[in-house]
Amino acid sequence: MKKLLALSAALAASAISMSANAQRDYISVVGSSTVYPFSTVVAERFGKSTKFATPKVESTGSGGGLKLFCSGVGSATPDITNASRAIKSSEINLCAKNGVKDIIEITVGYDGIVLANTTAAKQISLTRREIFLALGKNIPNPDGSETLVDNPYKMWNEINPTLPATKIEVLGPPPTSGTRDAFAELALEGGCKAFPFIKAIKKQDKKKYKAICHGVREDGAYVEAGENDNLIVQKLVANPSALGVFGYSFLEQNSDKVQGSIIDGKLPTFDAIAEGDYPVSRSLYFYVKKAHIGVIPGIEEYLAEFTSEKAMGEYGYLAEKGMIPMTDEERTKVLSTVKNLTTLAKK
Amino acid sequence: MTNSKATNSKTSTEATTMTTTNLTTREKVELSLARRRAAETRFRLYGMVSVFFGMLCLVVLFTDIASKGTSVFKQTSLTTEITLDSGYLGINKDSSIEDIRFANFEGLIKRHFAKSVKPKGRKAKRELFKLISPGAAWQLQELVLANPTAIDSTVTIELLMDDDVDQWFKHDFGNDVVDNGRLSEQQLAWLMTWIEEGQLDSHFNTLFFTNGDSREPELAGIHGAIKGTLLTLMVTLILSFPIGVAAAIYLEEFAPRNRITEIVEININNLAAVPSIIFGLLGMAIFINIFGVARSTPLLGGLVLTLMTLPTIIISARAAIKAVPPSIREAAYGLGASKNQVVFHHVLPLAMPGMLTGTILGMAQALGETAPLLMIGMVAFVVDVPGFINDPSTVLPVQIFLWSDSPERAFLERTSGAILVLLSFLVVMNTTAVILRRRLERRW
């Protein structure tokens, strides 16, 4: 017994010291769950076609990833973080405080956020204004006066008589999700801005403006269906009158089960998002710690793989996974960033 | 008002007492007999209903998972003959491993199918190439890496098909469905010719058990996750069993009964009820930030799970020690054994079965845990199968979680398949615990 105890203590101590001192020989990637499906594909191909170990990719969310990324330099911290939004100046400052001075920003492509229903039901055409009226927590009074009331709408045709006479029921991600942030910013705020008196609030009170435009109703019309988009798709099939909010890649993978709704006259198609016509789309990024290049093996080669024609290009394998590629012009810019390892200027 | 009500009820109680006191004891018992029997029958009924409900839930869950998951054990592939053209690949049998890794096997496969199927136009070509899994190129690559002399020969190989084809062949083919998934008419026509020629067929899916994670469903396997789980549990067992048993022996046999040991006892019981995510946070704060243990490794996962299983093991070990009758201790003392000898020669061997049972149950609990691992980076995409406890890895429940969140539909069956494997692990562990208890437990 005593021997066993001593043995296990020794083993634990040696293992801890061993792993603490060891230099990492694989790339560590953290960050957004939206970019995760794309960066994992690149990581896997990179691992299979080069002599380097396959990078480890963690899905921590954009904010969580940047926090880890900015926690310092050294093999205990990640080399790359994915983000479904641009880095904030507060995060750049946090990085700088912890010694992460040189950050390389690489734009990956675009992602569309779709509203979809089952193919068994009729396709719906909405404007962003109608989406805001259907899902906003406080909306302009339906009688036309410039006041805000709790959202009174129960049926779609109360908002616009041409819409179907079904209950407003939208399944979407919870507030912790980047998809929800982007949906609020692009779709709800887009519709919210259409009311001049709300837009006027922005100048006086930015916080109040954000609360109005990003607030989602909590009376059951918007159902928080968890972060699992597959689950939302399954629920949509079971409930023909419901709409769901998720990323374009899920629509693409399930195009035989669900259809994207038309927003502002545009269908969420590959081309419409790539051209920037579809209103609810955002850029995806990843950030690289320059201090780690040359220290952790393979970072430059990973960047080369990610930005190569066969990955990021118009017909690349990332496009097949549902990412919307950039135009050639934008891609050239990204390529030069990778080539020169241009770091982010301080904002 | 209240007063009058009180008097009213008082008189009525008196009235009932009056009537009952007039009866004999036997009559009273007989009167209440029917009521008591009815209560018992009702209670039995409630019990049976709740057991039945629980079983029903279990059956529904299992059949749902099994019906979704069993198809994972089949994988569709296309048997074909392909020439490993050294001129096209730019390698020969003396090439270095790096050159072979870099060679364009994907192009070779595309050229092969473009020649044999002859699709018309760029769009048709793209549709054709989509039918073949990207893993097919890696199959050829592995074949050449294992046997470089195969270059320039013609090999017969079962090329992996894409997940869409796989799903269609396993679920929709021959079922007369109108809905053909994500496949086009042209793609279906090609597939039908292959099926008629007997090239396209499904085989037992060994890749599911030999591969690590992958973003291509047809390539994704659970080997990496199982290995990670075993390594993590090994660390947990090596650390928590000796520590837990030692703590239990000390607390039960040696520690004086005072305030401090009482506080320790209460805290151990409290720890057993702490939500596991808190152990994850603790692990992150201590092991990562102070000791600098690498993220996402089985070592770190094992350390965190040790914290979590320790209370379970200590509590069950103490119960096992308590169950050893005092007569055995007294007999040993009577023969002149020292305290240490009594504990290690007599009490511990008798308490061991109980301790082992508790440990196995604690391990089973650790096996199913994901929440604490979220905090320490084990929720990660790891392709390479971990070799030892300091390689990045993931564990089975986390793998299930990651797959359930993937957009490709074929991951649905992978998820269910992995759940089946996890459940069988749990069943094996719990059965071992039961058998151990039956076999070794002594009754006094």
The reported pLDDT for the residue numbered A227 is 66
Which comes out higher in pLDDT, residue A194 or B121? A194
Residue B5, pLDDT score? 47
A81-95, A212-226, B176-190, B284-298: least confidently modelled range: B176-190
B380-381 vs A56-58, strand pairing mode: antiparallel
Percent of chain B at pLDDT above 70? 93
Q: What pLDDT is recorded for position B176?
A: 63
Q: Are B152 and B85 in contact (CB under 8 A)?
A: yes
Is the distance from CB of B373 to CB of A28 less than 8 angstroms? Answer: no
Q: Which of B153, B225, B148 is nearest to B383 (CA)?
A: B225
- Residue B404 to residue A228, Cβ atoms within 8 A: yes
CB contact under 8 A, A253 and B409: yes
Best CA proximity match to A131, nearest among A163, A176, A103, A178: A163
What's the CA gap between B136 and B123, in Å, rounded? 21
Using the beta-carbon criterion (under 8 Å), do B294 and A76 form an inter-chain contact? yes
**Which pLDDT value is given to residue A339?**
83
Give chain A positions within 8 Å (CB) of B405: 33, 227-230
Token code pair at residue A245:
């909010």
First to last CA, chain A: 61
Look at B390 and A322 and tell me if their CB atoms are within 8 Å. Answer: no
DSSP state of A122: P
- Tell me: ipTM over 0.95: no
**Residues on chain B touching A57 (C-beta within 8 angstroms):** 380-381
* pLDDT > 90? residue B242: yes
Nearest CA in chain B to A320: B130
- pLDDT tens profile B303-326: 999 989 999 999 999 999 998 999
Distance from CA of A218 to the nearest CA of B (A): 25
CB contact under 8 A, A76 and B379: no
Burial class from Cβ neighbours inside 10 Å (0-12, 13-18, 19+) for residue B85 reads middle
Q: Give the C-alpha distances (Å, rounded to integers) separating B209 from B32, B65, B204, B215, B226.
A: 64, 18, 11, 16, 9
pLDDT in tens, B206-215: 888 888 888 8
CB contact under 8 A, B215 and A37: yes
Q: Are A291 and A94 in contact (CB under 8 A)?
A: no
Contacts 24+ apart (CB under 8 A), A192-201: A192/A132, A192/A136, A194/A128, A194/A129, A194/A132, A195/A140, A197/A140, A197/A146, A198/A140
CA distance B355 to chain A (A): 14
Give the integer Cα–Cα distance in Å for A322 and A290: 29
SS3 sequence, chain B?
CHHHHHHHHHHHHHHHHHHHHCCCHHHHHHHHHHHHHHHHHHHHHHHHHHHHHHHHHHHHHHHHHHHHHHHHHEEEEEEEEEECCHHHHCCCCCCCHHHHHHCCHHHHHHHHHHHHHCCCHHHHHHHHHHCECCHHHHHHHHHHHHCHHHCCCEEEEEEEECHHHHHHHHHHCCCCCCCCCCCCHHHHHHHHHHHHCCCEEEEECCHHHHCCCCCCHHHCCCHHHHHHHHHHHHHHHHHHHHHHHHHHHHHHHHCCCCHHHHHHHHHHHHHCCCCHHHHHHHHHHHHHHHCCCCCCCHHHHHHHHHHHHHHHHHHHHHHHHHCCCHHHHHHHHHCCCCHHHHHHHHHHHHHHHHHHHHHHHHHHHHHCCCHHHHHCCCCEECCCCCCCCCCCCCCHHHHHHHHHCCCCCCHHHHHHHHHHHHHHHHHHHHHHHHHHHHHHCCCC
Q: Give tens-digit pLDDT for B38-70.
A: 999 999 999 999 999 999 999 998 898 888 888
Please give, rounded to a whole number of angstroms, the shortest distance from the CA of B228 to a CA of chain A.
14
CA R_g for chain A: 23
Higher pLDDT, B242 or B135: B242
Of A303-312, B239-248, B335-344, the poorest mean pLDDT is in: A303-312
Higher-pLDDT residue of B202, A82: A82
Partner B contacted by A230 (CB < 8 A) = yes
Q: What is the mean pLDDT of residues B7-20?
A: 50
Q: CB of B138 within 8 Å of any CB in chain A?
A: yes
Query: What domains are there in chain A, each with its CATH number?
Result: 26-110+283-340 (3.40.190.10), 112-281 (3.40.190.10)
Q: What is the pTM of this model?
A: 0.76
- Predicted local confidence at residue B169, as pLDDT: 83
Q: Which pLDDT value is given to residue B1?
A: 42
pLDDT band for B240, please (50, 70, 90 cuts): very high
pLDDT of chain A along its 347 residues, tens only?
Answer: 555 556 655 655 555 555 444 578 889 998 888 888 889 989 988 888 888 888 989 888 888 888 888 888 888 888 999 988 888 888 888 888 888 888 888 888 888 888 898 888 888 888 888 888 888 888 888 777 778 888 888 888 888 888 888 888 898 888 766 678 888 888 888 888 888 888 888 778 888 888 888 888 888 888 887 767 778 888 888 888 889 988 888 888 788 888 889 988 888 888 888 887 888 888 888 999 888 888 888 888 888 888 888 888 877 888 877 788 888 888 888 888 888 888 877 54
In this complex, the residue of B141, B214, B297 whose CB is nearest that of residue A19 is B297
Domains defined along chain B, listed by start: 2-69 (no CATH), 75-208 (no CATH), 223-440 (1.10.3720.10)
Find the length of chain A: 347
Element (H, E) at A333: helix A328-340
DSSP H helices, A111-170, are 128-135, 156-159
Residues 253-272 of A with CB under 8 A from B: 253-256
Contacts of A58 in chain B (CB under 8 A): 296, 377, 379-381
Per-residue pLDDT, B4: 47
Identify the residue among B381, B388, B398 best suited for mutation to test binding to A, counting A beta carbons within 10 A and taking the highest. Answer: B381
CB contact, 8 Å: B345 with chain A? no
Q: Tell me the pLDDT band of B116, cut-offs 50, 70 and 90.
A: confident
Q: Residue A272 has what pLDDT?
A: 85
| Assigned token pair, A283 | 């850029």
Confidence band, pLDDT 50/70/90 cuts, at residue B2: very low
